[in-house]
Amino acid sequence: MSDYSSDENESEIVLYRNRKEWRDVTPVPQDDGEDPVVSIAYTEAYEDCFDYFRAVLKNKEISERALEITKTASFFNPANYTVWQYRREILKGLNKDLHEELDLIQKVILKQSKNYQVWHHRKVLIEWLQDPSKEKFLTESVLAKDAKNYHAWQHRQWVIKTFNLYDGELEYIDTLLADDVRNNSAWNQRYFVVNNTTGFTDEVLDREIDYTLFNIKAVTENESAWNYLRGLLLHDKGGLSKNEKVTEFCEELYKSGNRSPFLLAVLVDMCYEQVNEGGGDSVYTLERARGLCDDLAAKFDTVRAKYWYYMLETIEKKSQEGSEAGGASSSN
C-alpha cells in the first residue's frame, strides 16, 4: 500500500489472506445479522482488511503487523474511531517514535481535513509529546485552502490555549481579514484571543471598536463584523446605545442613506435597550423602533419579517410596562 503522500490505489494492496505473515490469523467477518436492511457492497480489499483487523482487535494483539493493518484500515475509512483508538494503543505498546506518527497523521489531515477523528488522533499525540511546535503551521496550511475549516480552528484554539501560543495571533487574523473581511471564523478567533489575553479593558475595547468600525465602513453588509461589534459592547458598561463612538458611527451611516439590515438591527436593539431603561430624551424611542421594524420587515429583511414584528411587539410591551410603573409610582 502506498502512503498518504501519494495517491492511494486500492489495486496496489495485497490482500491479507494472501500474505504469509497473516496465515495464522482467522479473519472475523462483519456480522450484519440475518436480514440486514441495507447491505453495503464493500470492495474485496476493504472487506479483507477489516476481517483481519477485527481478528487482531479481538485478540488485542500489539504487534508491527497490527500497527500496519490499522494504517490500511484508516486508508479505507479515516473516520473509524476504533481504528485510531486501537492504533494509539499499539503505538504505546510498541513504544513507537511518535514524531513519525505525527508526520503520518499530517499527511492524512491534509487529505482529510474535515474529519474529526484524524484531528483527535493528532491532538492525543501532541498531549503525549507535549510538543506543539508544528501545530500552528499545520492549521495555517489547512486554513489556506479553507479559511473556515471548523476542525482546523478548533485544533488551533486548543493548541494556543493549552500551550499559551497567543503571540502573533492577532497579526495572523489581520491577514485573514484582509483577504476576506467576511470570514466569521477569523472574527471569532479575534474575540477568542482578546478574551484570553488582555481581556476587554477600556483601552482594548476602544481599540477593538475602532478596528471593527473601520472594517464595517469598508463593507457595511458584513454580518460578521456587526456581530463582533455587538460582542464588544457586551463588555461596555454603557451597553449598545451609550457608547458615543458607536452611536455616532451608526447615526452617520444611517443619515448617509445606508440601510444595511445589520445596521438597522443594531438601531432596533438600541431602541429596545433605551425603552427598557426608561428612555429619557434618547433618540432611541418606541416610535423610532416602529419605523425601523416596519422597514426591516417590509423592505430590508423580509425573510425575517415575523421576527421584526415580534421585536416591535416586545418593545411596545416594555414601553407599556414602563408607563404603568411610572404611573403607579406617581400615584403613590
Grid cell of 308 as nine digits: 421584526
Q: Dump pLDDT digits (tens) for 22-57.
A: 999 999 998 876 776 777 778 999 999 999 999 999
Identify whether 128 is part of a domain: no
Classify residue 106: in a domain, yes or no.
no
322, part of any domain: yes
Question: pLDDT digit string (tens) for 226-246?
Answer: 999 999 999 988 788 989 999
Check 114, 134, 148, 242 and give the catalytic one.
114
**One domain, residues 33 and 91:** yes
Tell me the pLDDT tens digit for each residue of 298-314.
999 999 999 999 999 99
What pLDDT is attached to residue 327?
Answer: 54
Q: Encode pLDDT of 272-302 as tens digits.
A: 999 998 876 789 999 999 999 999 999 999 9
Identify which of 188, 182, 248, 186 has the alpha carbon closest to the alpha carbon of residue 215.
182
Closest CA to 26 of 58, 55, 66, 61: 55
Q: List Cα–Cα distances, 284 to 274, 280, 288, in angstroms.
A: 6, 9, 6
Residue found by looking up cell 511518535 in the block:
98
* Amino acid 1: pLDDT: 41
Is 12's pLDDT higher than 90?
A: no
32 within a domain of the structure (yes/no)? yes
Cell 481599540 -> residue: 207
- Do 208 and 298 lie in one domain? The reply is no
Buried b (16+ CB within 10 A) or exposed e, 278-303: ebeebebbbebbeebbebbbeebbee
110 neighbors 127 (Cβ within 8 angstroms): no
Q: In sequence order, which ranges of 5-149 are alpha helices (DSSP H)?
A: 44-58, 64-76, 81-93, 98-111, 116-129, 135-145
How far apart CA 226 and CA 220 sit, in angstroms, is: 8
Where on the phi/psi map is residue 273: left (φ > 0), alpha (ψ -120 to 50), or beta? alpha
Can you give the CATH number for the domain in which 18 is found? 1.25.40
List of residues 6+ apart from 110 with CB closer than 8 A: 4, 141, 142
Return the H-helix or E-strand segment holding 248.
helix 244-255
- Given 96, 116, 150, the domain boundary residue is 96
- The parent domain of residue 255 ranges over 243-327
pLDDT of residue 41: 75
- Same domain for 226 and 311, yes or no, is no
Residue 140 lies in a domain: no
Examine residue 111 and state whether it is found in any structural domain, yes or no: no
d(CA 78, CA 117): 7
Q: Determine the pLDDT at residue 6.
A: 38
Residue 277 placed within a domain: yes
Which is nearest to 234 in space by CA: 198, 268, 200, 282? Answer: 200
Does residue 179 share a domain with residue 229? yes
For residues 315 and 271, the answer to whether their CB atoms sit within 8 Å is yes
CA distances from 315 to 151, 192, 277, 284, 328 (A): 40, 32, 11, 11, 20
Shared domain for 14 and 74, answered yes or no, is: yes
CA angle 114, 68, 57 (to 5 degrees): 85
Round to whole Å and give the CA distance between 259 and 43.
Answer: 57
Kindly state whether residues 3 and 90 are assigned to the same domain.
yes
| 229 and 267 co-located in one domain | no
Distance, in Å, from the CA atom of 6 to the CA atom of 24, rounded to the nearest integer, reads: 31
Q: Please tell me whether residue 185 adopts helix, strand or coil conformation.
A: helix
Longest dimension (CA), the chain: 98
Residues 91, 23 share a domain? yes
- How far apart (Å, rounded) are the C-alpha atoms in residues 160 and 140? 13
Q: How many domains does the chain have?
A: 3
pLDDT digits (tens, 9 = 90+) for 189-214: 999 999 999 999 999 999 999 999 99
Residue 103 CB-half CA count within 13 A:
7
> Residue 114 catalytic?
yes
How many angstroms separate the CA atoms of 66 and 36, rounded? 29
User: Is residue 2 pLDDT above 90, yes or no?
Assistant: no
Predicted TM-score (pTM) of this structure: 0.89
> CA nearest 261: which of 232, 230, 210, 295?
295
Q: Is 218 in the same domain as 303? A: no
121 part of a folded domain: no
Query: End of a domain among 236, 267, 293?
Result: 236
| Backbone CA torsion sign across 233, 238, 240, 241 | negative
Domain end call among 236, 261, 285: 236
